[in-house]
Amino acid sequence: YYDMLRLFEYGGLPPESNYLFLGDYVDRGRQGVETICLLFALKIRHPAKVHILRGNHESASITRIYGFYE
């Protein structure tokens, strides 16, 4: 989450910059819920500037293994 905020400090927030996020947002450290919620909010607010791809950690089978599913 904080790495993503730092990225926005360098590149600017949408709509100032375009972003493509490549997946695996949850189960990769702390604050997975905050990370995915912020990404969804940005996608809703700036659909032409924010693009979100789903990684394998966003699938039900992987989230069950790593605990995010609960």
Domain boundaries, the chain: 2-66
Catalytic residues: 57
pLDDT at 61: 61
Q: Which residues does residue 50 pair with via DSSP β-bridges, in sequence order?
A: 19
pLDDT the model gives residue 58: 62
The answer to whether the predicted template modeling score (pTM) of the entire model surpasses 0.85 is no
- The whole-number pLDDT of residue 32 equals 81
Q: Is the pLDDT score of 62 beyond 70?
A: no
Cβ atoms of 39 and 21 closer than 8 Å: yes
d(Cα 44, Cα 56) in Å, to the nearest integer? 22
What confidence tens digit (pLDDT) does each residue in 13-59 have? Answer: 999 999 999 877 776 678 888 988 999 999 999 999 999 998 766 65
